[in-house]
Amino acid sequence: MRNFQRSFVIAFIFLSFFSLYCEAKELKGIYLKEILSIGGLENDVLYMWAWVTVDKKGNIYVTDSIDCSIKKFNSEGVLIKKAGGKGQGPGEFLAPRLIFYKEGMLYITDERKRGIEVFDEELNYKFHIPINLPIFNLNILSNGNLVVSVFPLNKNDYGKLLIYDLKGTLKDRVKYCESSNPILDTVKFEIDKKFNFYIIYTWKDKIEKINRKGEKLWSRSLFGKKSIKIKKIGAVKVPVEVIYKDITLDNFGNLFILTGSISKNKSRDVYVLNRDGNLLTTFTLPDSSHCIYIDKNNFLYTRADMGATLKKFLIEYEYR
Amino acid sequence: MNKLRFIIISIMLFLNFSFFEDILANQKNSENTPQIEKFILVIINSSDLYCSICNDSLIEFNEFLLSKVLNKSRIFVVGILLYKCPPNKKEYERCEKIIKKQLRGFILTNNICFPIVLDKFHVFKEFNKEKSAIIYFDKLNGILKKYMFPLKSNQLEEIFSFTAKIQ
């Protein structure tokens, strides 16, 4: 036991120094080395996965939007269990989307059902968190509360991230912008260890860092785009060009931002920024994706074959 | 222009149905076997497979077929899946495999009770610009109608009333 503790402390010190070393050096490029592929064209393990999350042991959990299920794979990509299924009952789904792992629990949203379904890591259904708003993005704080970006139904919530407890009680709001149009101000976000929020706008060329109080720390645009392409559908004006699709943080605190239809390689180009918002490098995913995810061991997960395949990559950093 | 397109497609469908009917009539040409009297063609846009809101009508229609339609043996229902894939041969094959896989998953998950075939040769490509639809053809009663998705409840009722009129 003592040996284990000693090894753990040594590993921790080594990783801390390595992290500082990496930060001090200037990043020149990022390369991906594929180490695992789940699904594929010849089997029916994955039909069209929507979102992914990974636990500390490296088990992979996905939502599948065709068979309305959640699936658990081990770190070798073997399907361990499947749960959910189509329906409106507890633990069932109509269109499962986001999935987030935290402390042995899985938090799952459904595009067509309000609230969040909670399962344990063995995929046993546990409870429902009633949140009566469409949820775009989800994260769990260290105190167990949930942070969500939503499509707000009342003006008090425009331009704000909402913080709920596990009973679905609204505890707080974090303002990220002055908003008069909730569609245009749709955002996704990541949270760092210091409780800062990194916000990306789906329809605007805007990436921002705000602190817990909602104070803006910096704001960036990667494409210098000031206007948004709008299409009129009936009486409603809707944006048509996705600027930023998804954001994730690597273990060194760098931001990985997947860009949408605006970039040269649509839904494949990833921009890497440091925590001060400076662009470090870019790289291109082998296949188009709607999401990217980096786990606690710094492996990157992304989509291939229109969701029929999930790819896991080792991130290789090249420094100057 | 749309009307003209609809007329052309209707004629094409009529010919197709006659073709199906001939085949089926030949296959089941005995006095004890009921004859096919009505055809329902379900035109499905591949994007509807993974769009939960878009495929509501299709699933409702399937449930309606399963639960309400009597005399199933006298109604011929077939789904046609329309899809677009990149022209490059290798990419096309990959895309087609993905579509087939999604279709398998969709059929299993939603207990779809009628066969769905891929529109491999783009016979129905004109429909690709539009939403999914149901085309109802009743030779005996001289009915040929198109119902665009999303289906309204009165449209489902209408299809039900047509299918109930087995002579």
Query: CA-CA distances (angstroms) from residue A276 to A193, A272, B153?
Result: 15, 11, 55
The answer on pLDDT for A316 being more than 70 is: yes
User: What pLDDT, on the 0 to 100 scale, is given for residue B158?
Assistant: 87
Residue B11 maps to a domain:
no
Of A249, A136, A245, A236, which Cα lies nearest the Cα of A197? A249
Chain A residues inside the 8 Å CB shell of B52: 65, 94-95, 111-112
Partner A contacted by B97 (CB < 8 A): yes
What pTM was computed for the model? 0.86
- The torsion angles phi and psi of B61, rounded to 5 degrees, stand at -60, -40
Does position A229 have pLDDT exceeding 70, yes or no?
Answer: yes
Q: Does the CB of B84 have a partner CB in chain A at under 8 Å?
A: no
Supply the pLDDT for residue A149: 96
What is the reported pLDDT for B66? 84
Report whether pLDDT(A258) > 60. yes
**CATH number of the structural domain A24-319:** 2.120.10.30
pLDDT class for A7, splitting at 50, 70, 90?
Answer: low
pLDDT higher than threshold 80 for residue B130: no
CB contact under 8 A, B94 and A41: yes
Long-range contacts of B121-124 (CB under 8 A, 24+ apart): B122/B82, B123/B12, B123/B80, B124/B9, B124/B43, B124/B80, B124/B82
Report yes or no: B47 at the A interface, CB cutoff 8 Å.
Answer: no
Residue B96 confidence (pLDDT): 94
The answer to whether the Cβ–Cβ distance between B52 and A47 falls below 8 Å is no
- Residue A230 has what pLDDT? 86
Instruction: Quote the CA–CA distance of A7 and A26 in Å, as a whole number.
Output: 30
DSSP calls for chain B? -HHHHHHHHHHHHHHHHHHHHHHHHHHT-SSSSPPP-EEEEEEEEGGGGS-TTTTHHHHHHHHHHHHT---GGGEEEEEEEE----SSHHHHHHHHHHHHHHHHHHHHHHT--S-EEE-TT-TTGGGGGS--EEEEEETTTTEEEEEESSPPHHHHHHHHHHHH---
Q: How many CB pairs under 8 A join A and B?
A: 47
> How far is it, in rounded angstroms, from Cα A286 to Cα B70?
51
Cis, bond preceding B150 (omega within 30 deg of 0): yes
* Inter-residue contact B37 to B166 (CB < 8 Å): yes
Q: Which residue has the higher pLDDT, A194 or B167?
A: A194
Cβ of residue A290 closer than 8 Å to a chain B Cβ: no
Distance (Å) from the alpha carbon of A2 to chain B's nearest alpha carbon: 51
Confidence class for position A127, pLDDT limits 50, 70, 90: very high
What integer pLDDT is reported at residue B166 of this predicted model?
53
The predicted-structure confidence for B45-54, as pLDDT tens digits, reads as follows 988 888 888 8
ipTM above 0.85 for this complex: no
- Residue B8 pLDDT: 54
User: Hey, what amino acid is at A32?
Assistant: L
Cβ contact, residue pair B98, A44, below 8 Å: no
pLDDT tens-place string over residues A36-76: 999 999 899 999 999 999 999 999 999 999 999 999 999 99
Residue A317 has pLDDT above 90, yes or no: yes
DSSP states of chain A as a string? -HHHHHHHHHHHHHHHHHHHHHHHSPEEEEEEEEEEEEE-SS-SS-S-EEEEEE-TT--EEEEETTTTEEEEE-TT--EEEEEE-BSSSTT-BSSEEEEEEETTEEEEEETTEEEEEEEETT--EEEEE---S-EEEEEE-TTS-EEEEE--SSGGGTTEEEEE-TT--EEEEEE----S-TTTT-EEEEE-TTS-EEEEESSSS-EEEE-TT--EEEEE-SS---S--EEEETTEEEE----EEEEEE-TTS-EEEEE-TTSSSTTTEEEEE-TTS-EEEEEE-SS--S-EEE-TT-EEEEEEGGGTEEEEEEEEEEE-
CATH code, domain with B141 = 3.40.30.10
Instruction: Select from B50, B104, B108 the Cβ nearest to the Cβ of A65.
Output: B50
Question: For position B9, what pLDDT does the model report?
Answer: 55
Instruction: Write out the two tokens for B105.
Output: 């998953």
Q: How confident is the model at residue B163 (pLDDT cuts 50, 70, 90)?
A: confident
B-chain residues within 8 Å CB-CB of A113?
Answer: none
> Is B43's Cβ below 8 Å from some Cβ in A?
no
A131 vs B1, higher pLDDT: A131
Q: Which of B44, B46, B48, B50 to mutate to test the interface with A (most CBs of A within 10 A)?
A: B50
pLDDT at B24: 47
- A66:B98 CB<8 A: no
The band of B23, judged by pLDDT with boundaries at 50, 70 and 90, is very low
Alpha carbon B67 to chain centroid distance?
18
Which one is predicted more confidently, B15 or A217? A217
Q: Average per-residue pLDDT in chain B?
A: 78
Shortest distance between the Cα of B114 and any Cα of chain A, in A, equals 18
pLDDT of residue B37: 73
Residue A66 forms contact with B (CB below 8 Å): yes
Q: How does residue B2 score in pLDDT terms, banded at 50, 70 and 90?
A: low
- A287/B contact by beta carbon, under 8 A: no
Share of chain A above pLDDT 90, in %: 81
What average pLDDT score do residues A228-232 get?
A: 84
- Rounded distance, CA B83 to CA B123, Å? 11
pLDDT digits (tens, 9 = 90+) for B72-127: 667 889 999 999 888 888 899 999 999 999 999 999 999 999 999 999 888 887 76
**In the predicted model, is pLDDT for residue B26 greater than 50?**
no
Instruction: Check B98 against A308: CB less than 8 A apart.
Output: yes
Q: What is the mean pLDDT of residues A288-299?
A: 96
**Residue B10 near chain A (CB below 8 Å):** no
Buried b (16+ CB within 10 A) or exposed e, A218-255: eebebeeeeeeeeeeeeeeeebeebbbbbbbbbbbebb
Give the pLDDT score at A86.
94
Torsion A311-B81-B8-B87 (CA) sign: positive
Tell how far CA B103 is from the center of its chain: 14
Domains in chain A: boundaries: 24-319
> To which residue do tokens 């067509």 refer?
A112
Which residues in chain B are contacts of A306 at CB distance < 8 A?
Answer: 95, 98, 102
Is it the case that residue A85 has pLDDT exceeding 60? yes
- Domain tally, chain B: 1
Which of A146, A157, A225 lies closest to A189, judged by CA?
Answer: A146
Domain residue limits at B78 = 36-164
Query: pLDDT value at position B159?
Result: 85
Q: What pLDDT, on the 0 to 100 scale, is given for residue A192?
A: 94
What chain A residue is nearest to B50 in terms of C-alpha separation?
A66
pLDDT for the residue numbered A270: 98
Confidence of residue B160 (pLDDT cuts 50, 70, 90): confident
Q: Which residues, 6+ apart, have CB-to-CB distance to A255 below 8 Å?
A: A190, A198, A207, A247, A248, A249, A272, A273, A274, A275
Does residue B110 lie within any of the structural domains?
yes
